[in-house]
Structure 1
Amino acid sequence: MVNDVQGDKIDLLAMSKEEPVLLYFWATWCSVCSTVSPSVDFMSAHYPVLSIAISSGNESRIKHYIESKGYDFKVINDQQGVISKAWGVSQTPTIFIIDKGEIKSITTGFTSPIGMWLRLLMA
């Protein structure tokens, strides 16, 4: 278990037991992420979403960033890139679909809202 920038405890395995989870690796400095994040935020109204902000500053900076954009998805700060390295993420954005603790899909780069939706439905 880990805490998100909002202070909530997060358990990815528990989240994925009931329905698929969209796990989103992104960064505040990533230009492609700025086009994908609104779609991820839209998906968070329909499916559980957990995001990992890679090397994007301290928690206060990330919290301010997501609040200024109006995003509602949960964010874990990966300031040193430890979590992203453990998951084998080498580029942003990267999206994993996790269902019942298993990785069902991985995409990197731009992903459309329809692409995310279909991957979640197929999980």
Structure 2
Amino acid sequence: MIGKVKQILVFGTTAIALYMGVQLFATRSLVAGTPPAIHTTALDGRTFDIPNRDGRPAVLYFWASWCHICKAMQNSIRSLARDTSLVSVALLSGDESEVREYVKQEEFEVPVILDERGDIGKEYGVRGVPVVFILGPDGDIRFSSIGYTSELGLRLRLWLAGL
């Protein structure tokens, strides 16, 4: 019995270490600290200033219309947007009319900034999507992740960023 428990602990520890190593490698190009400034208007007409220094944690979410993993995260992102300061960046997803059509078709009712040429993504070091940046109350980046992240994982990071 003790041997089985030891095997499970070793396997679990190895899996966690491997996951953390992959995340560190994947996020190495992403910016940290104070994020590059974004002063723009979203598709819905709201203006956004990042970094946001309003004293609350916030989420900056990079996605693409052609990304299947992004599509899998949409419910989590929609849920977060209901009670969290959140803005999304449509990276290399077409022109304004194409992104508007996608947002309408997918009922993706979150603020969307258009990054038609990928310039914002480059400033943030984004090489693939989805990417999530969690900003602390001071507007600085506290956490970043690439790839699928669960709603629980995002909410935990938001909570930690607010401490």
TM range (shorter): over 0.9
Contact 1:27 1:53 in 2 (8 A): yes
Q: Which residue of 2 aligns with 1:35?
A: 72
Query: Which of the two has greater strand per residue?
Result: 1
Task: State the distance in 1 between where 2:97 and 2:142 align.
Answer: 32
Shift of 1:66: 1.2
Task: State the distance in 1 between where 2:152 and 2:41 align.
Answer: 30
Q: Which residue of 2 aligns with 1:109?
A: 147
Contact 1:6 1:63 in 2 (8 A): no
Alignment partner of 1:66 is 2:87: no
Q: Which residue of 1 aligns with 2:60?
A: 23
Aligned residues: 122
Q: Cα RMSD between the aligned structures?
A: 1.1
Task: State the distance in 2 between where 1:64 and 1:32 align.
Answer: 19
Deviates more, 1:1-10 or 1:38-47: 1-10
Shift of 1:61: 1.3
Alignment partner of 1:118 is 2:118: no
**Unaligned stretches of 5+ residues in structure 1:** none
Give the number of the structure whose alpha-carbon radius of gyration is greater: 2
TM-score, structure 1 normalization = 0.94
TM-score, structure 2 normalization = 0.72
Alignment partner of 1:3 is 2:41: yes
Query: Which of the two has greater helix per residue?
Result: 2
Contact 1:25 1:94 in 2 (8 A): yes
Selected match of 2:89 from 48, 52, 57 = 52
